[in-house]
Amino acid sequence: MRATHTILMPQMSPVHFRPLEPLMRRLGYQVELLESATRDDLEVGLRYVNNDACFPAIMVIGQLIGAFTDGSHDPDSCVVAISQTGGICRATNYAAMLRKGLREAGYPQVPVVAISLQGIESNPGFELTATMGLKMLQGIIIGDTLNTCLLRVRPYEVVEGATQELVDRWNRIIAEYFEHKGRSATWGGRIGYRRLLREMVREFNDLPRRDEPRRPRVGVVGEILVKFQPDANNHVIDVIEAEGCEAAVPGLLPFFLSGLVTAQWEAEAYGIGKESVAKKKAAVWFIEQLQAPARAALRAAGGTFDIEPSTVELARKASKVLSLGNQAGEGWLLTGEMIELIEHGVPNIVCCQPFACLPNHVVGKGMFREVRRRYPQANIVAIDYDPGASEVNQLNRIKLMISTALMAQDGTEPGASERADRQPDDVPGSMAGEELLAGLGPVPDGTPSSPDVAGAERHRSRSRVRSR
């Protein structure tokens, strides 16, 4: 299969996934990343994926099946690969939904490789080895570092496009590093992992920037694919930068560590064995050692770039407002990222969530009230993404949140606690509104009623008043 088939993979994060192709070539696999998701791909996804499935499933399955329906790839010489989380989330079912979609589309012969750390399925001809895992971790850490540098420098570049040119240069170096065992023609010789990180950060730090006050910073959190994939979030980073702000996106690595750092909590709550706890703690320690050179490189830049906290620290912060047992989807990590952003000068946050993604509604939007209570400066907006969602409405909500951020920075607004997505039961003045509502019984959940239901409720209310 290695010699005769090409593995097609959906793109989740352009910055993080580009090294995957050269890495897999080095290991003997022919891999092609499907870089973008078009409207046609979404239509294919809607046709072959159940409507109850979440937006990421519709998008990535539509991409993979669409590669055959548009005639660009031969189904007899291709394999499709998709991740399988194994957690309490619909992402665990992606592989089954993909196989069903391929059968219904007329491509039952296409093998599906379900990639999971737990080894849920066996995949003849494909093996997730320790070497592959180590290099993937390096790729994620390099990607996180590159993304941090890119987002920090681009809004202030003196020469338009200079940052992207530097990104393209380092993408080539990174690809050559993985494919040729540390050798890079673009760099001009051998380059090691530590030096690659150090020199990459140094070059971004040396890029000429305008001498101006720092712009309002807007964080982006949410479901992992919608957070990182530009086609899934309608290029939210570009929108933020076009509105005169600086984007801040927490890294990808904590997503993979979040299931490991809760080992002690799981031991106390579920009674998992000491051996399992020890293995998870050892894995966290090892990965943090891999991350140490990236932290050192960012620290050497003299404060230009932020250094993300450890995932253990994120768990500690999240545990103040919710249980670490919230592990479906992004789980407690999403809440921890919001708190971390606010505490480090990024009170403006876009929470990207697939429409009807229950885990994200619980740990994302469901935590807004408590986060705002603890951090009155928080300016958070939840944006739902779906094939049928109105992009105009999404843009309007983001721009309203950004206008609040800009006014707060200019000092023209009483406080940044004014929310872009204030619920109907909120009264201006935040705490005054909560005190007013305290005597009126349970606070409504803010779920909008349809006009008919709302009208019926008003009619029944008037009837009760008249009857009295």
d(CA 187, CA 96): 43
Among the three residues 81, 110, 128, which one is the final residue of a domain in this structure?
128
pLDDT averaged per 10 residues, the chain (length 468): 83 88 88 90 92 88 94 92 77 86 94 76 73 90 96 96 96 94 92 96 96 95 93 94 95 90 87 87 93 96 92 93 88 94 95 87 91 94 88 92 88 48 39 37 38 40 43
pLDDT value at residue 121:
67
Among the three residues 128, 149, 167, which one is the final residue of a domain in this structure?
128
CATH number at residue 32: 3.40.50
Question: What's the CA angle centered on 341, arms 339 and 342, to 5 degrees?
Answer: 65
Residue 407 in any domain: the answer is no
pLDDT value at residue 408:
86
pLDDT value at residue 390:
83
Residue 356 in any domain: the answer is no
Residue 180 in any domain: the answer is no
Residue 23 in any domain: the answer is yes
pLDDT value at residue 445:
41
pTM of the model: 0.84
Among the three residues 112, 128, 144, which one is the final residue of a domain in this structure?
128
Residue 101 in any domain: the answer is yes
Pair 340, 371: CB distance under 8 Å: no
20-26 CB contacts, 8 Å cutoff, 24+ apart: 20/136, 20/139, 21/175, 22/175, 22/176, 22/178, 22/179, 23/132, 23/135, 23/136, 23/139, 23/178, 23/179, 25/179, 26/178, 26/179, 26/180, 26/181
For residue 33, what are the β-bridge partners?
Answer: 9
Token duo for residue 363: 């740990």
Helices and strands: H and E segment counts in the chain:
20, 10
Q: Which domain holds residue 440?
A: 431-467
Residue 410 in any domain: the answer is no
pLDDT value at residue 387:
86
C-alpha 394: how far from chain center: 17
Residue 185 in any domain: the answer is no
Q: How many domains does the chain have?
A: 2
Token duo for residue 188: 């001009």
Residue 157 in any domain: the answer is no
pLDDT value at residue 210:
94
